[in-house]
Amino acid sequence: GETSDSFAIEESLKELAQLADTAGLMVVGSTYQKLASPNPRTYIGSGKVAEIKSAIRAFEVETVIFDDELSPGQLRNLEKAFGGDVRVCDRTALILDIFNQRAATHEAALQASLRLFVALAQMEYQLPRLTKMWTHLERQAGGKVKGMGEKQIEVDKRILRTQIGVLKKELESVRKHRKQYRNRRFSVPVPVVSLVGYTNAGKSTLLNQLTGANVLSEDRLFATLDPTTRRVQMKNGSEFLLTDTVGFIQKLPTTLVAAFRATLEEISESSLLVHVVDISHPLAEQQIEAVEKVLAELDVSEIPKLMVWNKVDKVTDPEKIKLEAERREDIVSISALTGEGLLEFCNAVQEKLKDSMVPVEAFVP
Ligand code: GDP
């Protein structure tokens, strides 16, 4: 195919490798194949299956991860083809794994809701696959136990649905609780600024830089209440709450987009969205698009936005980037690492907030 096409595939695989690394796996290699259409049985062609199989033996591979979502049948066939204890999974399953790990270590405030939505997404992912598994077992048994599988499917589905129902209720109560907390927060009329952006764009670095820098101060009491939100106070006395959100990635599975809404809900109550971009990344343009796509699904078009081109210290021609940012409206270029442009950033935030100030009365519950 075209070179740019291959480039996008390679970048996506690089991201998949990073995800695998985050999940604690050691990546020994990656490969891809271009087919007119995926093989319905094994997704990849038989030659590729053989090639991967020999790599599995050579490197004692335990897990094979596919960048696209595999059907339950393809998963099963690939596992059978690779043999032994090799685990085959797709991007969705890998992301769920990571969120599961994260949910176990994440800060108290987000812990409960994160864990719930991961469990929920996992169950919703399992539900359609359950039927396939039992149909398969039944066929294996040669029809001797006909009907038994069907009954089992119904039982399993009922159990899963009950669990999903319980989780949804719990999630709802966590949401209510957080909403009450937000309402209390709003009784003090401090505008909320949400950082959004692609994973690795530099959101948490920016949050830490701003609240650690001497121009600004951090309200420690507040930090202990909600570790992902900080009070940023400017020298001129004005202040705003800066809050970090979950990082976005490309090809977010649809089941997760729905689940993400729960944690991203707070975005819709912000006075300003700051979209942090890693401008040094070769696929910055695509990452911007991926974030904007998720934002579009969140229905936040009314909220003012400011774009931040981060990591200007890393680009080959920083002057060109800075000029381009200045030329365009609503963009500031910074380096969260070196601190360059942070004051300009804060001023831009202040300027934006001025336009969107909500009267104090509106915040009183
Ligand atoms: P997040 O996922 O958006 O929260 O991203 P992080 O804040 O964790 O940053 C991801 C990586 O980029 C880290 O290794 C940071 O040190 C690095 N980083 C963040 N900002 C900058 C920057 O302005 N310049 C450079 N060179 N690296 C940065």
Are the C-beta atoms of residues 307 and 336 closer than 8 Å to each other? no
pLDDT at 308: 97
- Which atom of ligand 1 is closest in space to residue 198's alpha carbon? 3
Handedness of CA 224, 311, 298, 19 (dihedral sign): negative
Supply the CATH number for residue 64's domain: 3.40.50.11060
pLDDT digits (tens, 9 = 90+) for 155-168: 777 777 777 777 67
**Residue whose tokens read 């897990």:** 63
Q: Is the ipTM of this complex over 0.95?
A: yes
Residues 223 and 342 in one domain: yes
Burial of 64 by CB count in 10 Å (0-12 exposed, 13-18 middle, 19+ buried)?
middle
Q: CA angle at residue 223 from 219 to 226, to 5 degrees?
A: 140
State the pLDDT at residue 174. 63
Are 73 and 123 contained in the same domain?
no
Residue of 205, 228, 278, 335 to test ligand 1 pocket, by largest number of atoms within 8 Å of CB: 205
Question: Considering the domain boundaries, does residue 321 fall inside one?
Answer: yes
Clarify whether residues 166 and 126 are in a common domain: yes
CB atoms near residue 346 (< 10 Å):
22
The residue segments making up the domain with residue 160 are 107-177
Q: Is the distance from CB of 109 to CB of 230 less than 8 angstroms? A: no
Q: Are residues 172 and 207 in the same domain?
A: no
CA of 303 to the centre of ligand 1 (A): 25
Residue 280 lies in a domain: yes
DSSP string computed for 338-363: T-TTHHHHHHHHHHHHHHHPPPGGGG
- Please list the alpha-helical segments (H only) found in 141-232: 148-186, 203-212, 220-225
Dump pLDDT digits (tens) for 48-76: 999 999 999 999 999 999 998 899 899 99
Looking at the structure of the chain, the number of domains it has is 3
Q: Is residue 183 in a domain? A: no
The burial class, CB within 10 Å (0-12 / 13-18 / 19+), for 258 is middle
Last residue of a domain, one of 98, 127, 152: 98
Tell whether 138 and 261 lie within a shared domain: no
Q: Which residues of the chain have pLDDT under 50?
A: 1-3, 103-111, 188, 213-227, 358-365
Kindly give the distance from the C-alpha atom of residue 199 to the centroid of ligand 1, in angstroms, as a whole number: 9
Closest CA to 33 of 47, 22, 19, 20: 47
* 3-state secondary structure at position 233: strand
pLDDT value at residue 293: 83
Note whether 341 and 232 are same-domain residues. yes
